[in-house]
């Protein structure tokens, strides 16, 4: 299956899953807070036939909030370890990546809405140079920037699904700088 078709199918599936979760989250009427840590598992695909699997932890900026329009902005540290896989000639190359990404999350209804939007940008470090059949990174340190939408559900809104678009590159510090775009699906659980 071509990668673009897989990306389209994945985003359609995520949209349908999100609509189903809206019905579940409508039952959760308790006041929710983003000031609790979470653990998460995340899967990703790329345009260049790459894949990634991550395990991570989010640590909130305790009691830091900012009112923005009808919602509230909170911040957290996203700490993770990933395994990236890419096609290299006859075999797949495996690259281990660790990262730290400060992120901001906006949640409507003064912070009580189940849905949220998120942005973040931080640093990642790979154990070796990442590459595919058609591109090769020139640095092991890179920047990771993402945009995401997600929602919480469950009796205490302890479960979370998030769909993310992330770009990783070295910001033209060194050439070549091909970058890689990831479509990521994340499940998180609040402690």
Task: Domain ranges for the chain, please list them.
Answer: 3-190
What are the tens digits of pLDDT across the range 38-88? 999 999 999 888 999 999 999 999 888 999 999 999 999 999 999 999 987
Q: Which residue has the higher pLDDT, 170 or 25?
A: 170
Residue 103 CA to chain centroid, in angstroms? 10
25 CB contacts (<8 Å, ≥6 apart)?
114, 151, 152, 153, 157
* Beta partners for residue 109, in sequence order: none
pTM passes above 0.85:
no
- 111 pLDDT higher than 80: yes
- 22 pLDDT higher than 60: no
Locate the DSSP E strands across 69-90.
71-88
| Architecture of the structural domain at 3-190 | Beta Barrel (2.40)
């Amino acid at each position: 299956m071509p990668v673009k078709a897989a990306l389209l199918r994945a985003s359609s599936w995520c949209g349908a899953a999100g609509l189903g979760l809206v019905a579940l989250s409508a039952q959760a009427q308790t006041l929710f807070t983003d000031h609790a840590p979470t653990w998460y598992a995340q899967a990703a695909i790329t345009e260049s036939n790459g894949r990634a699997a991550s395990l991570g932890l989010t640590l909130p900026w305790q009691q830091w909030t900012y009112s923005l329009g009808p919602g509230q902005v909170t911040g957290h540290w996203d700490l993770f370890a990933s395994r990236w896989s890419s096609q290299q000639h006859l075999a797949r190359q495996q690259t281990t990546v660790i990262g730290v990404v400060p992120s901001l999350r906006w949640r409507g209804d003064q912070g009580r809405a189940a849905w949220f939007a998120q942005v973040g940008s931080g640093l990642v470090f790979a154990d070796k140079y990442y590459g595919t059949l058609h591109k090769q990174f020139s640095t092991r340190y890179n920047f990771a920037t993402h945009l995401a939408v997600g929602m919480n559900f469950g009796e205490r809104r302890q479960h979370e699904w998030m769909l993310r678009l992330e770009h990783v590159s070295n910001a033209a510090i060194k050439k070549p700088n091909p970058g890689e775009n990831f479509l990521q699906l994340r499940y998180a659980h609040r402690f």
